[in-house]
């Protein structure tokens, strides 16, 4: 009688006593004691797959009756997945092959033996699921225990179970920081620092740490982090209640704006303003009262003179082409929106967006239908499985476990389907293209009122190539606005006239596409 010793590990570095060597020693020992001949088959891979390299060879030999039996160290060697387990048991029964597990022979052709084998298969399957769950759970637990979190952050600490909890002493300081920052007279993190130092008679935290703490959501009970590209959230005990948190964030926003406003060292048109008299880029000049663009010819000539050079930069503009920055920004901004309202370019852009929205609705529908199909498949597979179990008379508890998993799968898919339905609804473009052009107007209106420097510059960069200045008189300018637009509407021919602070600006719009 010849036995196939089937040895398997899931990875080459499996270090416990189920290693290949260990399995081999036991299997060979078993055969020698029983006076069986043997052949060894070794696989290194997951038991979830039926087609394993060496196992295939073994299968073939069983079918050819070259082997009379299979020996495995335990049931797990054969399969951790139930469906695979069934196939293997079929193979054994169909070929009248004997099965030895460890020191025992399993008679799976008898109903009792098959029953035991099936139970073990189900348990393996269940165990495999559990291993995955445990791994996922382990990851999350690691986070809670601070594995990847590293430092818990000022105001928190870990308790004996490594859970993140509030540190009583430090959290008092955190509370003080939020309280002090919300005093009416306090307008900066630095002033929080001073007051904190006064109270504690020592420097407790740096100014930048104070700023960081005031903006960190974890003090309001929410930790947001990333692990291997996936973001996760952890609820912590709140040190700062919702009201104080909200008030603080609003104050930070206001103070930031004030700070920005103070600097006013930001020029929307920088690098785009060109002197019409000489073609050079104009420079920014600012003093306490005025901020203006000026032709740089005179300044550069002066610089050369200082170097004892005779190089002169000529320009035929008048009054150095000086133009108020505030006025110019206003004139360009207003001009830009007048032109955009008239341009077919923007309308085309919105038409495209309209088509795309319709497209995305179809896409969401496609995914939803796919998921509904998947749900149906899971349902019928489950019922098939269930029928099989009932036939075999398998324990209620096991069926209950599988049922729970099934319910959960269905529930998860349902959730996804619902959210897709929501997306579809959101994309119900019911008001046709007219509605879209309304949206364009609304967007333009909102953009026009925009005050954030960065957003304004983004729009200016998108549409304005250059601004050429020609000063005609003390209070009169001609401005050429070169725009990245194909269509200028009526401003193709018409000039734009704007007066601002007693000065008069005539803008000629040009398209860079011509």
Between 148 and 305, CB nearer to Zn ion: 305
- Give burial (CB, 10 Å; 0-12/13-18/19+) of 248: buried
Nearest to 14 by CA among 4, 1, 23, 5: 23
Between 293 and 436, CB nearer to Zn ion: 293
Helical axes 207-215 vs 168-181, angle rounded to 10°:
90
Task: Considering only the stretches 182-190, 193-201, 236-244, 312-320, report the one whose residues sit in contact with Zn ion under the rule CB under 5 A.
Answer: 312-320
- Give the number of C-alpha atoms closer than 13 A to the C-alpha of residue 332, restricted to the C-beta side: 31
How many amino acids of this chain bind Zn ion (CB under 5 A)? 7
Task: Supply the minimum distance, in Å, between the C-beta of residue 503 and Zn ion.
Answer: 19
Between 89 and 317, CB nearer to Zn ion: 317
Inter-residue contact 81 to 113 (CB < 8 Å): no
Interaction of residue 315 with Zn ion, rule CB under 5 A:
yes
Between 261 and 271, CB nearer to Zn ion: 271
Indicate which single residue of 91, 129, 165, 278 sits in contact with Zn ion (rule: CB under 5 A): 278
Task: Supply the minimum distance, in Å, between the C-beta of residue 323 and Zn ion.
Answer: 12
Nearest to 320 by CA among 298, 291, 348: 298
Task: Supply the minimum distance, in Å, between the C-beta of residue 334 and Zn ion.
Answer: 25
Task: Supply the minimum distance, in Å, between the C-beta of residue 148 and Zn ion.
Answer: 59
Task: Supply the minimum distance, in Å, between the C-beta of residue 313 and Zn ion.
Answer: 8
Between 153 and 277, CB nearer to Zn ion: 277
Strand partners, 167: none
Estimate the share of the chain in helix, then strand, then coil, as percent rounded to the nearest 5. 55, 20, 30
Interaction of residue 275 with Zn ion, rule CB under 5 A:
yes
Between 188 and 322, CB nearer to Zn ion: 322
Phi-psi region of 289 (alpha: psi -120 to 50; beta: other; left: phi over 0): alpha
Task: Supply the minimum distance, in Å, between the C-beta of residue 271 and Zn ion.
Answer: 16
Task: Considering only the stretches 181-189, 288-296, 417-425, 490-498, report the one whose residues sit in contact with Zn ion under the rule CB under 5 A.
Answer: 288-296
Between 171 and 297, CB nearer to Zn ion: 297
Task: Considering only the stretches 19-27, 125-133, 198-206, 267-275, report the one whose residues sit in contact with Zn ion under the rule CB under 5 A.
Answer: 267-275
Helical axes 325-342 vs 432-448, angle rounded to 10°:
180
Strand partners, 157: 165
Inter-residue contact 339 to 488 (CB < 8 Å): yes
- Give burial (CB, 10 Å; 0-12/13-18/19+) of 428: exposed
Interaction of residue 295 with Zn ion, rule CB under 5 A:
yes
Task: Supply the minimum distance, in Å, between the C-beta of residue 473 and Zn ion.
Answer: 16
Q: What residues line the site for Zn ion (CB under 5 A)? A: 275, 277-278, 295, 297, 315, 317
């Amino acid at each position: 009688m010849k036995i196939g010793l089937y040895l398997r590990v899931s990875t080459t570095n499996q270090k416990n006593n189920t290693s290949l060597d260990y399995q081999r020693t036991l299997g060979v020992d078993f055969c020698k004691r029983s006076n069986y001949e043997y052949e060894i088959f070794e696989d290194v891979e997951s038991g979830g797959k039926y087609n394993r390299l060496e196992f295939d060879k073994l299968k073939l030999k069983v079918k050819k009756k070259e082997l009379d039996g299979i020996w495995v160290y335990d049931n797990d060697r054969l399969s951790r997945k139930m469906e695979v387990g069934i196939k293997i048991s079929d193979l054994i029964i169909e070929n009248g092959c004997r099965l030895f597990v460890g020191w025992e022979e399993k008679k799976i052709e008898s109903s009792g033996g098959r029953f035991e084998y099936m139970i073990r298969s189900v348990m393996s399957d269940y165990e495999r699921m559990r291993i995955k769950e445990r791994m996922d759970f382990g990851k999350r637990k690691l986070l809670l225990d601070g594995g990847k979190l590293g430092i818990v952050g000022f105001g928190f600490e870990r308790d004996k179970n490594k859970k993140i909890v509030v540190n009583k002493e430090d959290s008092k300081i955190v509370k003080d920081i939020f309280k002090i920052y919300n005093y009416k007279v306090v307008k900066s993190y630095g002033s929080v620092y001073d007051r904190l130092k006064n109270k504690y008679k020592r420097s407790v935290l740096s100014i930048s740490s104070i700023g960081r703490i005031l903006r960190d959501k974890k003090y309001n009970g929410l930790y947001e982090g990333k692990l291997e590209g996936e973001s996760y959230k952890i609820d912590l005990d709140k040190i700062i209640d919702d009201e104080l948190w909200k008030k603080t964030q609003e104050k930070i926003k206001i103070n930031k704006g004030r700070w920005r406003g103070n600097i006013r060292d930001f020029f929307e048109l920088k690098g785009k303003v060109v002197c019409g008299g000489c073609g050079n880029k104009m420079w920014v000049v600012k003093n306490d009262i005025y901020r203006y663009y000026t032709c740089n010819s005179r300044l550069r000539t002066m610089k050369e003179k200082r170097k004892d050079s005779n190089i002169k930069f000529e320009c035929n503009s008048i009054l150095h082409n000086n133009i108020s920055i505030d006025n110019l920004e206003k004139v360009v901004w207003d001009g830009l929106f007048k032109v955009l309202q008239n341009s077919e370019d923007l309308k085309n852009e919105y038409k495209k967006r309209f088509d795309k929205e319709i497209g995305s609705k179809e896409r969401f529908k496609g995914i939803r239908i796919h998921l509904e199909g998947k749900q149906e498949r899971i349902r019928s597979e489950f019922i098939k499985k269930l029928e099989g179990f009932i036939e075999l008379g398998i324990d209620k508890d096991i069926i209950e476990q599988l049922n729970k998993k099934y319910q959960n799968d269905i529930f998860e898919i349902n959730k996804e389907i619902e959210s897709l339905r929501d997306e579809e609804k959101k994309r119900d473009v019911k008001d046709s293209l007219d509605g879209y052009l309304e949206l364009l107007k609304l967007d333009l209106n909102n953009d026009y009122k925009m005050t954030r420097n960065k957003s304004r510059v983004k729009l200016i960069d998108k549409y304005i190539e250059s601004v050429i200045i020609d000063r005609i008189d003390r209070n009169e300018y001609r401005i050429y606005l070169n725009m990245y637009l194909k269509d200028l509407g009526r401003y193709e021919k018409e000039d734009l006239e704007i007066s601002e602070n007693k000065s008069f600006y005539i803008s000629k719009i040009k398209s860079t596409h011509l």
